[in-house]
Structure 1
Amino acid sequence: MQSLHHDLGTPPAINASGKMTALGGSVLSDGVVTAMGEAARHHVVMDDLMAAVGREIGRATGTEDGCPTTGAASGIAIAVAAVIAGTDLSRIEALPDAGDAPCEVILPRGHSVHFGAPVRQMVALGGGRPVEVGSANKVTADHLAGAIGPRTAALLYVQSHHAVQKGMVSLAQTVEVARAHDLPVIVDAAAEGELRRWPATGADLVIYSGGKAVGGPTSGMICGSAAHMAACRAQYGGIARPMKVGKETLFGLVQALREYGSAPSGGHRPRMEKLAARLADLPGLTTRVVSDEAGRDIHRTELTVDPEAAGRDASELAAELAASGVYLRGHHAVTGRLAIDPRPMNPDEEEQLVDRLTALLDGENNR
Structure 2
Amino acid sequence: MSAFGKFGLRQVINASGKMTALGASAVHEEVAQAMSEAARDYVVIDELLVAAGREIAKATGAEDGCPTTGAAAGIAIATAAVIAGTNLSRIERLPRPVGGPDEIVLQKGHAVHFGASVTQMIALGGGTPVEVGHANHTEKAHFTDAVTERTAALLYIQSHHAVQKGVQSLETLREIASAKGIPLIVDAAAEEDLHKYIALGADLVCYSGGKALEGPTSGFICGRRDLIEACRAQYKGIGRAMKVGKENIVGLLTALTRYGSREDGGEEQKRRMELFLRQLDGIPGIKGGIVQDESGRSIFRAKLEIDLAAAGVDAKQLIRLLEAGNPAIYTRNHYSNIGIVFIDPRPLLPGQEQLIADRLRDIIVKGNRT
Question: TM-score band (shorter)?
Answer: over 0.9
How far is the alpha carbon of 1:3 from its aligned partner? Answer: 4.7
Give the Cα–Cα distance (whole angstroms) in 2 for the partners of residues 232 and 253 of structure 1.
Answer: 18
* Aligned alpha-carbon RMSD (Å): 1.2
Question: Which residue matches 2:113?
Answer: 114
Give the Cα–Cα distance (whole angstroms) in 2 for the partners of residues 193 and 280 of structure 1.
Answer: 33
Give the Cα–Cα distance (whole angstroms) in 1 for the partners of residues 281 and 187 of structure 2.
Answer: 37
Question: Which residue matches 2:128?
Answer: 129
1:149 alignment partner, SS class = coil
Give the Cα–Cα distance (whole angstroms) in 2 for the partners of residues 189 and 314 of structure 1.
Answer: 30
Question: Which residue matches 2:345?
Answer: 342
Gaps of 5+ in 1: none
Alignment deviations for residues 115-161 of structure 1 (CA, whole Å, 9 cap, x no partner): 00000000000000001111100112221111111101100000000
How far is the alpha carbon of 1:228 from its aligned partner? Answer: 0.8
Scaled by the length of structure 1, what TM-score is found? 0.97
Aligned residue-pair number: 364
Question: Which residue matches 2:276?
Answer: 275
Alignment deviations for residues 179-231 of structure 1 (CA, whole Å, 9 cap, x no partner): 11111110000000111112111010000000010010000100001111100
Gaps of 5+ in 2: none
How far is the alpha carbon of 1:362 from its aligned partner? Answer: 1.9
Give the Cα–Cα distance (whole angstroms) in 1 for the partners of residues 339 and 176 of structure 2.
Answer: 40
Amino acid at match of 1:326: I
Instruction: Single out whichever of 235-244 and 134-143 deviates more from structure 2.
Output: 134-143
Give the Cα–Cα distance (whole angstroms) in 2 for the partners of residues 191 and 239 of structure 1.
Answer: 24
Residue 323 (1) aligns with residue 342 (2): no
Question: Which residue matches 1:291?
Answer: 292
Change (3 A) 1:285 1:3: closer
Question: Which residue matches 2:311?
Answer: 310
1:263 alignment partner, SS class = coil
Question: Which residue matches 1:153?
Answer: 152
CA contact (8 A) 1:280 1:287 kept: no
Give the Cα–Cα distance (whole angstroms) in 1 for the partners of residues 235 and 70 of structure 2.
Answer: 14
CA contact (8 A) 1:314 1:334 kept: yes
Q: Paired residue for 2:361, among 334, 337, 358?
A: 358
Scaled by the length of structure 2, what TM-score is found? 0.96
CA contact (8 A) 1:39 1:248 kept: yes
How far is the alpha carbon of 1:315 from its aligned partner? Answer: 1.1
Amino acid at match of 1:22: A
Q: Paired residue for 1:333, among 325, 333, 336?
A: 336
Residue 67 (1) aligns with residue 70 (2): no
1:363 alignment partner, SS class = coil
Alignment deviations for residues 304-328 of structure 1 (CA, whole Å, 9 cap, x no partner): 1112221121111011001121110
Amino acid at match of 1:346: L
Give runs of ≥4 in structure 1 deviating > 6 Å: none
1:364 alignment partner, SS class = coil
Instruction: Single out whichever of 326-335 and 208-217 deviates more from structure 2.
Output: 326-335
Question: Which residue matches 2:179?
Answer: 180
2:342 alignment partner, SS class = strand
Amino acid at match of 1:297: S
